[in-house]
Structure 1
Amino acid sequence: MTATAAPPRAAVRPPRTSVVRTELRRGAGPWAGAAVAVTLLVTMYAKAPAWQGRWTDATDMLHAATGLLAGPLTLAAGCWQGGREWRRGTPELLRSVPRGRLRRTLLAVAPSALWPTAGLFLAATVCLLATWPYVGGGRPYLELVAADAVALAALGTLGHLVGLLVRWRLTAPLLAVVGYIGLAIGSYTVSPARWLSPAAEHASPWEEPVWWFAPTSAVWTGGIALAALLAYAARPARLRLLALLPLAAAVAAAVPVLRLPADGPWRPDPEATRLVCDDGTPKVCVNALDRTLLPDISRSLAPLNERLRGLPGAPVRWVGGSSGPGAGEVELPDHMMDSARGRLRNPDLYLNSAVQWLFSDICASADVTGPRAERAAEIHLAVSEWLAPTPEDYGVPVGPAAQRHLDTLRAKSTTAQRDYLARYLTADRCRPEEVPVP
């Protein structure tokens, strides 16, 4: 028998690598993404006590850091990447492959646009995960993070195009400086045009953006970048007219932003401003966003409330957050100045501040005049120190006269102390002669 020849084995083809994946691995793109992530994370970490307790504070600060710091960095990185194409002769090499100019430019721009966006998403994920254990309510504004990602991609694209057009090695750092100045000036103007800037800062945790603001911002920044890209890369020349479409979309998106009122695209959030109270007397109430702080605040004010309970002239309740005090109410100190990660850092200092707020709205110091004004001020200092001693390393020691009144108060019995505090609370402290002496 004649042996039949075995059929030839099919040639094993190497796995086909995505062209986009190859482009993303080249140049400074990965380094730009890492630089954006590190810049944002270091900035946010340095200010963690200011945002790591509320979703709104976290997303607001991340938005400002992205615009003012990551924005210029992305511009410079994109410009460097675009200049790198010329320095290595990549455009001439790409003309030899069967790809259109627009497709070649899109592939070349991809690292400049996508890597900084990836860095932002990484930083945002870390910050939001770090905030999650400590928040009391509300939600993170993920739509604003998405709009910031579009803005970073747009800045990377514009920077890349500048690098292709301007063949000067110092263009990238100069563009970063110009970009920072432009973004900073645009974000601090008083006109509604400030909200067109990707770095516009918002600082109120009791407000939420209108639903259309984030997508409109994305169309504004993305439309400008896409129009510039088409104007540069579209071939033949008549196709460059297509750049008018995204440009028109960007202009249309800017119109409602420019017509915003003075407070911008932010509106009160009813859920965030809802009061949550304890069951003490006087009651302690905070906004729903800060409900995790309520136990600490209640414990801090417990010694003061014990002395105020049932006395005439004592407040009905303490109110904090965005809700102003009503009749019989006293405003709480700003607990976010002395809190971090859902806890009060210095309860004794907060108690001392609460006593100052208890007596702060009685009358202006300029109105307290007369021969006994100094004595009234000394008594007020003694009463405040008796109710909540100033922690060490804060304030200055009381004077000799105030110390004598303080010693007298401390030497009284509990019943005598309550009797005096009742007389002090009901006295007209704007009239020094009516302020009772301990």
Structure 2
Amino acid sequence: MSRLRAPARSIHPARTEMVRGIGPWSGLVLAVVVGVVMYDAAPTWQGRWVAVSDVLREYGIVFGVPLALAAGCWQGGRERRRGFGELAATLPRSTLRRLLLAAAPAALWPAAGYLGAAAGSSLAAWPYVSGGRPYPSLVLADAVAIASAGVLGFVAGRLTPWRLTAPLLALVSYITLISTYADNPRQWLNPAALHHYFWDRPVWWFGPAAMVWTGGLAAAALLALAARRRAVAVLPLAAACTAAVVLVQTGNGLWRADPAASRLVCDDGTPQVCVSAVDKALLPEVSAALAGLNGKLRGIPGAPARWVSGPGAPGTGMYWLGGTRITELGVTSTTPPPGDAQLPSPYEAAVRGRIADPAAYAHSAVT
């Protein structure tokens, strides 16, 4: 008597959607592109967590959002281009569930590719960062923005299945992202907005608010397209608008002075060499680079009492009092302590935790 064969295990539709089509390729392309660009720009971010966040956001969002929009748009127009609309309407699943399954690859794969590149960049920066901590909430907010772009692209593809919609949508989004860096409160609605002060830290709710802003827009668009009661789309839309108002009204206050990062760390030489805490790992390198110059300056009238690099250095226009920028306290003019001389940023002269050219760095201190 022959043995009965066990019935073959059916493959879940979600798995089929996730492993086929444009989704996996979009995630792989984004991970490779961001990884290569981050590797090439490593000297500009490898020593400070704020720089890691800025450069990741600059390249990850600027490349990731247009890519996710295009992938989602192509995925969304697939059924209408292939004439599967009537057949899909006969399936027992609800329209919303079916569209969620179809949109998932274009939303999740690019976000996963970005998270992979972000994780690799953080590991590459870890040995060379002197202090502070990474900002995982901002990385997650960027991933949500990329996933939301995939959903919005999917909705656009469902409504306009024209083949050129995807590249046009990607082009428009790219131009929009790179043209809204203006220094005004509305810039923080742009997921690619950057912050260039290395001695600041984001408020704890910045990342979650950014997730509500971009995620709420995507959820509202998808519900308006596919929900049985389209009025429910008002709820995520209201949440997104509330988050947008909070972000715009807070403006540059989304980043606050970080006393732990801005405090000075000094050696015991004469003259003293002082750097900000975010660069304290470079202090031995800086002291060694200036050793010859300091030896020549000892005993000379008018020689600096200490070299200072960071927010308290002369000429930077950023002086600190109790961990708060004096400009934030309403003081318009200050003078540095007597005897202080500005020291070039060791971060800009360092490559992977070492001053690349000590002689040139020492020369730049007196020119």
TM-score using structure 1 length: 0.76
Quote how far apart the aligned CAs of 1:152 are: 0.5
What are the equivalent positions in structure 2 for 1:141-156 lying under 5 Å apart? 141-156=135-150
**1:259-314, CA deviations, whole angstroms, 9 ceiling, x for partnerless residues?**
124x3411111111121111211111111111121111111100011111233322
Which residue does the alignment assign to 2:134?
A: 140
Is the counterpart of residue 119 in structure 1 residue 119 in structure 2?
Answer: no
2:326 aligned with 1:333, yes or no? no
Where in structure 2 are the equivalents of 1:358-397 lying within 5 Å?
none
Counterpart of 1:402 in structure 2 is none
What secondary structure is seen at the aligned counterpart in 2 of 1:260?
helix
Q: Secondary structure at the match of 1:201?
A: coil
Question: Deviation digits for residues 177-205 of structure 1, max 9, x if unmatched?
Answer: 1111122223x133211101111111111
Alpha-carbon distance in 2 for matches of 1:182, 1:140: 28
Tell me, yes or no, if structure 1 residue 265 matches structure 2 residue 265: no
Q: Deviations over 1:87-111 (max 9, x none)?
A: 2334333223210001001000000
Measure how far apart 1:336 and its partner are.
2.7
Aligned equivalents of 1:264, 1:85: Cα separation in 2: 46
CA distance, structure 2, for counterparts of residue 80 and residue 98 of structure 1? 24
Question: Corresponding residue for 1:31?
Answer: 25
Q: CA RMSD in A?
A: 1.6
Q: Which residue of 1 aligns with 2:102?
A: 108
Alpha-carbon contact 2:62-2:192 (below 8 Å) kept: yes
The partner residue of 1:277 within 266, 269, 292 is 266
Is the CA contact (8 Å cut-off) linking 1:195 and 1:264 kept in structure 2?
A: no
Residue 224 of structure 1 corresponds to: 217
What's the offset of the Cα at 1:213? 1.0
Aligned counterpart for 1:170 among listed residues 156, 164, 170:
164
Deviation at residue 15 of structure 1 after TM alignment: 3.1
Contact 2:271 2:305 in 1 (8 A): yes
Partner of 2:197: 204
Measure, in 2, the Cα distance between the counterparts of 1:255 and 1:230: 22
Ranges in structure 2 where 5+ consecutive residues have no aligned partner: 315-336
**C-alpha separation between the residues in 2 aligned to 1:93 and 1:214?**
41
1:97 aligns with 91
Code of the residue aligned with 1:354 in structure 2: it is A
Would you say how many aligned residue pairs link Structure 1 and Structure 2? 345
Alignment TM-score, normalising by the size of structure 2: 0.90
Contact 1:24-1:110 within 8 A present in 2 as well: yes
2:145 aligned partner, one-letter code: A
One-letter code aligned to 1:336: Y
- Asked if residue 22 in structure 1 is aligned to residue 25 in structure 2, the reply is no
- 2:231 is matched with 241
285, 297, 300: which one aligns with 1:296: 285
Check whether the contact 1:292–1:343 (CA below 8 A) recurs between aligned residues.
no
Runs of 4+, deviation exceeding 6 Å: none
Aligned to 2:333: none
Work out which of the residue numbers 141, 151, 160 in structure 2 matches 1:157: 151
Matched, 1:354 2:365: yes
Alignment of 1:322 with 2:315, yes or no, is no
Identity over aligned pairs, percent: 54
Report the equivalent of 2:275.
286
> Which has the higher relative contact order, 1 or 2, with Cα contacts under 8 A spaced 6 or more apart?
2
